[in-house]
A and B are shown apart, each in its own frame.
Chain A
Amino acid sequence: DAGVIQSPRHEVTEMGQEVTLRCKPISGHDYLFWYRQTMMRGLELLIYFNNNVPIDDSGMPEDRFSAKMPNASFSTLKIQPSEPRDSAVYFCASSFADSYFSGNTIYFGEGSWLTVV
């Protein structure tokens, strides 16, 4: 399997611009997660979907952030307008909850490294 695929891998943008991060989960996985990682705050869950439906968006920092999952193989995380404090690595991850006791192993993509200047 190709794993979780994210794009772009790196993006540098100016403050105020719109940023769109994209994710293709592992085929067959029914959960998709967006995490953000910074040195100060570590790995934070922003939002997650189950079968394309947002389940918990309590980690989305503010209205500037939005996420969609129009189908089982694609999700976007959008920041509009972007600010320097949004600079971070954004990870998309997916999992397949086949059995509670198998562990809901989450597989991460390689991340999108965002710098807002």
Chain B
Amino acid sequence: QKEVEQNSGPLSVPEGAIASLNCTYSDRGSQSFFWYRQYSGKSPELIMFIYSNGDKEDGRFTAQLNKASQYVSLLIRDSQPSDSATYLCAVSRPNDYKLSFGAGTTVTVRA
């Protein structure tokens, strides 16, 4: 079982719609959870992180965490063509500063 699993996609959504990305993790000791965005040919860049159960909102992005279900998601509201990218989920354990990444979900926003 992979440590972090994501649906590879591609996920295609129309402009203005909500894109929903899911991520599950195997290590119950995981404490912090991150969403990175990676445009083709570029390096990953952090969108947001979450460490408490519930929702965390930042602009058009909402991260949701459910530790009991070992599940973290990312919602992108009012999707724009510029949101077309691969979204990487990453997790870390307490006092362990390395991140383990999922394979990523490719999102395409149709204009």
Point out the residue from B42, B44, B99, B100 that lies within 8 Å of A104, measured CB to CB.
Answer: B99
With a CB–CB cut-off of 8 A, which chain B residues contact A50?
97
Residue of B nearest to A96 (CB): B97
Bound together, the chains give a CA A107 to CA B42 distance in angstroms of 13
Bound together, the chains give a CA A48 to CA B34 distance in angstroms of 18
Across the A-B interface, how many residue pairs have beta carbons closer than 8 Å? 48
A103 engages B51 (CB within 8 Å): yes
> Is chain A's binding surface mostly helix, strand, loop or mixed?
strand
Take A42-B102, A42-B104, A43-B88 as given contacts and tell me if A105 and B97 are in contact as well, using a CB distance cutoff of 8 Å. Answer: no
The minimal Cβ–Cβ distance linking B85 to chain A, given in whole angstroms, is 14
Instruction: Give per-residue flags for A33-46: 1 if the beta carbon is below 8 A from chain B beta carbons, else 0.
Output: 10100000011010
B98 engages A43 (CB within 8 Å): no
Bound together, the chains give a CA A43 to CA B87 distance in angstroms of 12
Task: Show the binding face of A for B, using Cβ within 8 Å.
Answer: 31, 33, 35, 42-43, 45, 48, 50, 56, 91, 95, 97, 100-101, 103-111
